[in-house]
Amino acid sequence: MKACFVTGTDTEIGKTLVSAALLHVLAGQGARSLGMKPIASGAESIGGRLRNPDVQALALHSSVRADPDLLTPYLFREPAAPHILAAKAGEILDPLRIQSNFQAASKLADYVVVEGVGGFMVPLGAGQTGADLAQRLNLPVILVVGLRLGALNHALLSAQAIRASGLTLLGWVSNQVEENMLHAQANIQSLREYLPEPCLGIIPRLHNPDPNERIRLAALHLRHPWPA
């Protein structure tokens, strides 16, 4: 079983797009692939159950089906910082619980893609951050760089934090979130020069209104992070 932890330079920069696209690539190669998003916020009640679009995208593009509560033990209705929502609900975002769920999920698949929440250092409460969760899972990290003004600084700081945590930066993916960004290609070249880890994909701005079609299109721009 191989697994990775997908983080990003910020929130809303394409972690789900990349995670689901990676699952799509793996499933297309006949692998048993499974996506986890242990902490998610922003959901609506459908059929008496909270539904989050990121969680649903990961499930749709996984080739293995599993209990949603196993894959997302912490799901909140409001679209806000999870540690604030957890405190409001009287809960603690417990890394041990997430680790236990991951270990159970890892027995079901050949590949597990764990999508983090927010950026790498997002607070999780009780002095913990996303970095602590990644360390607890002890997984190599894929960094999604949201290509927009300021991305270079955010990418280099995030990469530095990942390395300082003792984790392996498996590679990085550029995702163009700012449609008319000036000098986008020059920024990508700078990422290549300053990040020694491999580039696993350059995703252009995707305009298809169907989110699942965008995931399929993004998959065309990714390379396998675990080459045979």
Annotated catalytic residues are 37
- Which of 214, 196, 194, 184 is CA-nearest to residue 53? 214
Structure tokens at 6: 């997908």
Helix (H) or strand (E) holding 96: helix 95-106
Distance CA 142, CA 147 (A): 15
Q: State the amino acid at position 94 in one-letter form.
A: D
Helix (H) or strand (E) holding 190: helix 184-194
- Which of 208, 200, 212, 151 is CA-nearest to residue 176? 151
